[in-house]
Each structure stands twice: as C-alpha cells, then as structure tokens.
C-alpha cells in the first residue's frame, strides 16, 4: 500500500489518486490538515494510522511512502484552547515526520527527500549553481538595506506568515532604489527584464521543460498568482538545450535528489536560473491524460528513487 503524506489542497495527490484507482492499486492518505481526525499509535516496532473512514495502514502494510508538502493547518487545532494550539501542532508535525522517517529507515520512502528543503536553501543552491547556470546577481541580508539597483524580493523559507491575514510571501518586483526595512531578513535577486517564465521538472533523471507563452512584462512577477486566476498563463511544453539538460542533471547529482523543479527566465535564448524547488508543484502543467503524474507514479515505483 502506498502511503501519501500531504495536505488537503494538493491537487496533484487527487490526480495521483485517479491513476491509482484506474490501476487498482491500494493507497492511504495521511492528510495533515485533518490530523486531529486520525487515530495514530506508535511503538518500538510498529505504527498504525486510522483515517476518519476507518481505513488503516501500518508499518507492515505500507510498501511505499511519498511525502507531498504536508503543511499543518491551525484550523485542525481550533477545538483546543488557544494557548495550546501551537504546542499541539508542533507535536503533530513531529509525529508526521517520525512516520516518514520510519518508512525511510525501511527503504520505503521514494522520490522526494523530506530534508530537501533544508539542504537546498537559497544560499546553498545559488552557490552550487554558480558554475552550471547563468544566475542573476543576488544577496541575503539582515540588519542591512540591500543595495541591488532593481531587484526581486523572495522568501528564504516556505513557511506561512501568521497574523490576521496568514499567507505566503510570493516573489515581488520592487521599483529601482526601493529601501527595504533592515529589521527583517531579505533575499533579493537582480530582476531580469522581459523574457518568459520557464520551468524544468526533473523526475528521476528525466528533464521536462515548459515555457509561458506570454511575455513576463505582461504577467507580473510571480506566475503562481495566476494559476487559479481568471487569466491563467498558458504553459507550453518545450525542448531544452542539451547544455541545460546536462546542467540540471549535474546539479541534481551533486545534491543527490531524485526530484526537483527548476525555475528560469528565458531571455534572448539565455536561460537564467532563479531557483530549484526540491518539492515543487507540477499539477497545473499536466494534460488531460495525466501523463506527467503517470511519470511521477512510475518514479515512485522505481527502487532507484529510494530516499536513503
């Protein structure tokens, strides 16, 4: 049985479920948004997880495991006293990681490395990419005002911003010479004017390229804001220059990962690397046949993608 650890809003897990049902393959989803609705027991030599419908999975019945962005939601802890919610969420997060690590210790964890985000921090990946790709000038500061003339501001971590209006910090392009508050940490990257957004999905040695049909100047800074908007971007599959495929494969060999999604700006035939996400989304790139998700499932079934 395939154990998938994810949160409720992962459309890719829903698409994988469609393929699994077609093939009659059993699977179990640990939905981290609904963790409080599950029944979990762990001991020295076993774990058992029971979902709200009564289905269960154990250490012995879990043959494969796949970790797909398992964010925790505070809504799942709203039944608890306010002062205890963060404490409880932290424990649920720890228990989820323990289950994933248990599967990893038995050679059952495939494709996505749970520690990929930690390994590929912005600074580390920009440093590793310097001799493989064209990389825009960048800097990370704290206690200082970045001095990049025209820059894009990004987050260093994938965590949500709390408060009354929680959400994620998307990449934002700032006007020239905009001052940034030195009280906060900043990752800034030189803006590449014009061109098109592009991405390369790396799956177990395969590189699949896509490019946006619209020019970047007309679509804003961060293409993610358009995925579910009324004016979605048109992503087209594209051939990759051989040197770029070699660079992507070499980068992934160096970091010892089986999956990643590279983001680029394509400008006058030059591919500028923006970043590599070791657990990046891919669902919106797929077609009606779900061919990309079928590639993902094939990689999950390949022992070569075992996360060691």
pLDDT in tens, 19-74: 999 999 999 999 999 999 999 999 988 999 999 999 999 999 999 999 998 888 87
pLDDT-derived band of residue 87, with 50, 70 and 90 as boundaries? very high
Asked if the model's pLDDT at residue 218 lies above 60, the reply is no
In angstroms, the CA 264 to CA 191 distance is 12
Coil, strand, or helix at residue 124? helix
Strands 151-154 and 186-190, sheet pairing: antiparallel
- Tokens 């030599």 locate to 45
Asked if the model's pLDDT at residue 147 lies above 70, the reply is no
In angstroms, the CA 172 to CA 150 distance is 11
In angstroms, the CA 256 to CA 308 distance is 10
Higher-confidence residue of 117 and 299: namely: 299
Asked if the model's pLDDT at residue 161 lies above 80, the reply is no
Q: Where are the beta strands (DSSP E) in 7-118?
A: 27-31, 39-42, 47-50, 56-58, 64-68
pLDDT-derived band of residue 219, with 50, 70 and 90 as boundaries? very low
pLDDT tens-digit map of 262-286: 999 998 879 999 999 999 999 999 9
In angstroms, the CA 145 to CA 81 distance is 40
pLDDT tens-digit map of 179-210: 788 888 888 888 877 688 999 999 999 999 99
**Mean pLDDT taken over the chain:** 88
Asked if the model's pLDDT at residue 302 lies above 60, the reply is yes
- Residues 192/136, Cβ–Cβ less than 8 Å: yes
Across the beta sheet with 64-68, what order do the strands follow?
27-31, 2-6, 64-68
Q: Average pLDDT in the 226-240 region? A: 75
- The domain made up of 116-134+194-305 has a fold known as D-amino Acid Aminotransferase; Chain A, domain 1 (3.30.470)
- Whole-number Cα distances in Å, 94 to 37, 91, 118: 17, 5, 16
- Phi then psi for residue 20, to 5 deg, are -60, -40
pLDDT-derived band of residue 215, with 50, 70 and 90 as boundaries? confident
Asked if the model's pLDDT at residue 167 lies above 70, the reply is no
pLDDT at 59: 92
Least confident piece of the model among 58-62, 131-135, 231-235, 246-250: 231-235
Domain locations in the chain as residue ranges? 2-105, 116-134+194-305, 137-191
Asked if the model's pLDDT at residue 168 lies above 90, the reply is no
Asked if the model's pLDDT at residue 225 lies above 80, the reply is no
In angstroms, the CA 246 to CA 262 distance is 13
The number of CA neighbours under 13 Å toward the Cβ of 247 is 20
Q: How far apart are the first and last CA of the chain?
A: 20
Q: pTM of the full predicted structure?
A: 0.88
């Amino acid at each position: 049985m395939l154990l998938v650890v994810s949160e409720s809003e992962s459309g890719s897990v829903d698409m994988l479920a469609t393929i699994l049902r077609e093939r009659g393959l059993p699977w179990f989803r640990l939905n981290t948004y609904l963790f409080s609705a599950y029944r979990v027991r762990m001991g020295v030599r076993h774990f058992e997880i029971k979902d709200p419908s009564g289905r269960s999975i154990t250490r012995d019945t879990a043959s494969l495991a796949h970790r797909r962005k398992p964010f925790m939601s505070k809504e799942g802890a709203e039944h608890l006293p306010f002062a205890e919610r963060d404490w409880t969420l932290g424990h649920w997060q720890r228990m989820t990681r323990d289950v994933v690590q248990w599967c990893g210790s038995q050679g059952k964890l495939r494709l996505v490395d749970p520690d990929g985000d930690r390994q590929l921090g912005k600074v580390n990946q920009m440093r590793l990419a310097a001799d493989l790709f064209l990389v825009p000038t960048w800097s990370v500061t704290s206690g200082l005002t970045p001095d990049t003339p025209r820059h894009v501001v990004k987050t260093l971590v994938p965590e949500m911003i709390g408060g009354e209006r929680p959400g994620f910090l998307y990449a934002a392009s700032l006007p020239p010479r905009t001052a940034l508050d030195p009280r906060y940490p900043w990752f800034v990257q030189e803006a590449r004017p014009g061109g098109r957004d592009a991405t390369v999905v790396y799956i177990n040695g395969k590189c699949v390229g896509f490019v946006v049909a619209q020019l970047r100047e007309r679509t804003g800074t961060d293409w993610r804001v358009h995925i579910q908007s009324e004016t979605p971007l048109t992503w087209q599959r594209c051939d990759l220059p051989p040197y770029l495929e070699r660079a992507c494969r070499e980068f992934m060999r160096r970091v010892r990962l089986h999956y990643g999604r590279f983001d680029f700006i394509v400008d006058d035939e030059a591919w500028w690397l923006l970043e590599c996400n070791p657990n990046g989304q891919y669902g919106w790139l797929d077609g009606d046949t779900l061919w990309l998700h079928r590639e993902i499932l094939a990689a999950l079934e390949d022992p070569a993608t075992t996360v060691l």
